[in-house]
A and B are shown apart, each in its own frame.
Chain A
């Protein structure tokens, strides 16, 4: 399990005076479920990109366990992300023309790590997320079903961390609730750390901890119990 430690992180883009993200210190313990909130432009996406190793870190340290992403090359970050992070996105990013099963296995196959065990796990995961037809092409599915496929894909390599970016925002209320339930339960079952950016208030309330970003800085950091109180 991987705890997250961020120290003196600053992310700037050329042409912008103020950094889009500046975090002096942040700790997220392994296995915790954290909600990330904030208005658009608050730096949520940048934060997720940084901690998932999608973006290069120029200033500060981002430690997952003992490994500092800032020290990694791009290729090394790709490999590390593939092995440790399960990503779920608002727009699913499934590949049309491929079946649900093939979509789940695609990243593993492209990394040449797909073996019989992983294929078996993909079948199991499809059942876990409540899908019955592994050969169904994704473009024929409902949006709720697509997000389930995306979740199964994120879980394939048993990542220690699940990062979800507005996973329910493009779904109707009912499927959104179901997807929220699913994410929480699979993260709990696997003991994974779950970091979830969302506007969905009801989903936020079900997580342990809530981080609020404003203009690239952490504006609030509260425990769920405190919110409830």
Chain B
């Protein structure tokens, strides 16, 4: 019987190929939509995985998450620097790290942060080492720059008409292992460098006992216009003092607002200053703070506490869930479109095969006349169509997988988020549903052939 079906399909290969193609395309459409949506959901959830709580200034939750987790460039209101100090000192917090962004270099976002954040969210270095000086930078795995490269930060991005901070440059000292998150596309630098580039945080701290000395130091270094000196063993201070172009930002910027920061960014870094990662009362304003609470209960309490007044604390996962709900609606529309196209193809197939069976009445009648049982005739017609459709569904799944992979790759290149495209049990169910549908579909012409009287068929 299989031999007969194959011989028949070989003879009608063109029609068969068209049927397979139609089914494959209709299936691929549905499969690609499902896979892509799931990959997007999983990929973004994984990207947010390491970020338990994000604290920012009161504003849009979604924008806070998009900017901090997905490094989407957008102006954010700044949260007071003392919040970071408070969080860092909180016994419920394992670590809290500032995230400063706004600059970029050849399309890669430059993110100011701390070594503790890098240590906690990545699995180490491919090459090189962690930044130790203010003028050093660490690359995400997907940044195509060599070790030792000079990075001149540009404010904003080239597309948005940003300008280059001409007198500042970082030297690349390390490259991180891939994390599958947008941070793979980031250039990570010490947060203090970002502040300094923008003329922030060059402040004396009230309780810094040697503030006077720093003042003197600064004047001594005229040509560089900068000198930064850390006080690593002084946890409560930002031990940075500078007078750049005769301006003193320090105290004013302790409570910086967005407008405040935007108005001037005259500043530069001292590439040889050691990195200082203790934050006190007069830490400059920050777009976002990533917080790792010690326990889940702590996470809820912290979120509760920092959702009042001028600060906003969010669980990125929760914000993403809200986004997925929107995404889900879009997926439903796309799925409906895919299902509609599948229904159209199914209807077209029934039409074509019923006509085809009609055209072959004589042949079917002859099969019966020469002694083929009715059951065999039914099975031949049914199997022939079912095989074509099943083959089409199979190819459609592969096509859909391929399309989703290509889509995911394009997305990863643009955003750095790795989209895990893959089949799950749910897809097996879809395949079974489609095959079951095909089985019912194929029964229509098969039944028609079954009911044909051989004598009548031969007479026609």
Contacts and interface: CB of A to CB of B under 8 A. Distances in A.
B370 A49 contact: no
B367 A74 contact: no
Given A55-B453, A89-B366, A98 B371 contact: no
Interface string A52-95: 10111000000000000000001100110111000101010101
Contacts, number: 82
Contact of B7 (A52, A54, A98): A98
Given A45-B459, A55-B453, A96-B11, A110 B373 contact: yes
A201 interface: no
A109 interface: yes
Interface string A99-131: 000100011111100000000000000000000
B371 A78 contact: yes
A153 interface: yes
Given A54-B455, A97-B11, A111 B374 contact: no
Contacts of B367: 106-107, 110
A81 B370 CA distance: 8
Contacts of B455: 49, 54-55
A95 B454 CA distance: 16
Q: Give the interface residue-count category, chain A.
A: 20 to 34
Contacts of B440: none
Given A49-B455, A54-B454, A78 B7 contact: no
Nearest to B377: A110
Nearest to B459: A45
B6 to A, nearest CB: 9
Contacts of B3: 98, 102, 109
Contacts of A110: 1, 4, 367, 371-373, 376-377, 380
Interface string A145-166: 0000000010001000000000
B370 A153 contact: yes
B364 to A, nearest CB: 11
A49 B362 CA distance: 14
Interface in B433-453: 453
A45 B369 CA distance: 13
B458 interface: yes
B4 A98 contact: yes
Nearest to B2: A109
A93 B459 CA distance: 13
B373 A111 contact: yes
A98 B371 CA distance: 17
Interface in A15-61: 45, 49, 52, 54-56
Contacts of B370: 82, 87, 93, 106-107, 153
A96 B3 CA distance: 12
B119 interface: no
Nearest to B379: A110
A73 B366 CA distance: 19
Q: Which of B4, B11, B362, B363 has the most CB of A within 10 A?
A: B4
Interface of A: 45, 49, 52, 54-56, 74-75, 78-79, 81-83, 87, 89, 91, 93, 95-98, 102, 106-111, 153, 157
8 contacts: A54-B368, A81-B369, A93-B370, A97-B8, A106-B372, A107-B372, A110-B1, A110-B377
Nearest 4 CB-CB pairings of A with B: A82-B371, A93-B366, A97-B7, A110-B372
Interface of B: 1, 3-4, 7-8, 10-11, 362-363, 366-374, 376-377, 380, 453-455, 458-459
